[in-house]
Structure 1
């Protein structure tokens, strides 16, 4: 047992040893061994490991990737998550604020000579990158990656088994993707210039939060979503979160390209949607269920559908609405 514990400890140190050297020696080498500088000490390697987040489960990985984590985080086995992984917070190379802004995910182990020993797979429904200059090195991310920060990097020995979606063309241009991507690499946004301030969700629980008064002025879904409870759209918001602009809120059940051409339309199936946010717009996509309007300025765009009824709380609210899209049921005061 002592031998096993020593072996595991050695592998963990090896995983991150490269991160304690200069950048030129940082990348793992499978074929060519890199000679360690004579000045590099055990103390330096130990310091790197103790300041990194080394985890082996979904819960700890979520914490390690958060703004409360560290500049580098690693997994020591395959990890499967059933919720989105959000990489956020500003960090610096090796935790040194005098160095460049930088963050890294290391789903692998390596020995003292930087030879990769094991590669691991992170399976996740969605990874959202909000940390600037974030690198995925070696290993595999199985799921779609949404990039909302500059400088995303995928090294040549790493794989994303899914799509990479960028919040803007500028973010895509700043990325360096040398590794394998099995899906698309494209700009995917509800509104190309505002995704970083939007709530982009893919499940009922997160959609309920996104639509609440604690959400954002715009919220979007990236797939069909079915809810078994009422969805309440609540709170006062402003166009693009700018209080100098008009009060406005929007639901975007679709994706679009950089030229704002709609790519995919999604369906929200819900027993009841109650609208309490003023000047709320449903654009493109489908809401399957009855909509109860309790605020001024409700809008349904011409390319959107409500497969159900629209009930207004008063004649005044009905008169302030603009319904250009398709409504399969009634539009009446109730």
Structure 2
């Protein structure tokens, strides 16, 4: 009987030791969870935006890696989605223009309207919904997931464009292109790479030194002014300007062409292109490298020197209804 009691005591002691060991093993995962943070840059993992103030805060260094929308927002600000954010230890940001249910089904999408947004954080996702404006990408790993960019998608380098992903459900209504080198502005004369013109006032501004290297039309325009497309503009470090009398889709198919009517236009920048559409009036070329690409000059084409004429190109899809001469 004494032996039996001793055996029970030993068994009970072993059970107690085993229970203690098991308790010790279950404590470690709890510590591991407490030490894990999805967002290592700021205390917040997400920020919810429903007006301009919360939007600007959310995109800034005081925001979060996920910027979640709760409504449509319009702003006149050129937006910047700054770098310095991580998710689960990896550099990442997300512009979430949608709401979803517990099963991750999209229940609502939103529209953000701004002149532009610049993406500076690596692996930034613009997901669902619509951004109305131009998107400038200055970091690797950009992704457009099920969303729409109603504007141009512009990469600061070919490397950044190659690292980007646009899924089958996403749309870019404007151009997808590379401008300039990473970290630099493509247009070294002004901060803008393009200007949209829809009336006489925006046309005169766009052609001036306050304009951009690309002057893009949204409608037919008529003016009594003798126009001057001034020099001093570059694209990718080379002197260039472009009068874009057309619109195109994401696959660069021509969707509309426009007519600019004026007594004359003088082209002063080297490598100026008059592309698609029609200019009604006389064109004076005062620099090398003029190109007429798929467009019509319903008037005379006049070069200031034989050198300028010799350096020009008129493609087979273009037409000049008047004289081509040197004056």
TM class, shorter-length: 0.5 to 0.7
The equivalent residue for 1:304 is 295
Q: Name the residue aligned to 2:214.
A: 219
Radius of gyration: which is bigger? Answer: 2
Whole-angstrom CA distance in 2 between matches of 1:106 and 1:170:
25
CA drift at 1:141? 1.6
Secondary structure in 2 aligned to 1:282? Answer: strand
Superposed counterparts of 1:1-334, under 5 Å: 37-38=33-34, 47-48=43-44, 54-56=49-51, 73-79=67-73, 87-88=79-80, 90-93=82-85, 102-108=92-98, 119-122=108-111, 124=113, 129-133=118-122, 135-136=124-125, 139-141=128-130, 146=135, 148-149=137-138, 150-155=140-145, 158-160=146-148, 167=155, 170-177=159-166, 180-181=169-170, 183=171, 188-189=176-177, 197=186, 199-204=193-198, 209-216=205-212, 218-219=213-214, 221=216, 224-229=218-223, 232-238=228-234, 240-242=236-238, 248-251=239-242, 253=244, 263-264=253-254, 267-272=257-262, 274-275=265-266, 277-293=268-284, 295-297=286-288, 299-301=290-292, 303-310=294-301, 316=304, 320-321=308-309, 322=312, 324=314, 325-329=318-322
Deviations 1:17-58 (A, max 9, x none): xxxxxxxxxxxxxxxxxxx955689xx9x9538x9583425x
> Larger RCO: Structure 1 or Structure 2 (Cα < 8 Å, ≥ 6 residues apart)?
1
Which structure's residues are more often strand, by fraction? 2
What are the superposed Cα offsets for residues 124-166 of structure 1, whole Å, 9 maximum, x if unpaired? 59866543435346541265875644311245xx533879856
- Shift of the 47–171 alpha-carbon distance from structure 1 to 2, 3 Å rule, reads closer
What's the TM-score once normalised by structure 1's chain length?
Answer: 0.54
Offset at 1:278? 3.5
SS in 2 for 1:48: coil
Q: Take 1:170 and 1:141, find their aligned partners in 2: how far apart are those partners?
A: 25
Q: In 2 relative to 1, CA 233–200 (structure 1 residues): closer, same or farther, beyond 3 Å?
A: same
* TM-score, L = length of structure 2: 0.55
Shift of 1:233: 1.6
Gaps of 5+ in 2: 1-31, 188-192
Retained in 1: the 8 A contact 2:300–2:324?
A: yes
Supply the distance in 1 between the matched residues of 2:304 and 2:233 (Cα, whole angstroms): 21
Q: How many residues align?
A: 269
Measured on the aligned residues, the alpha-carbon RMSD in Å equals 5.3
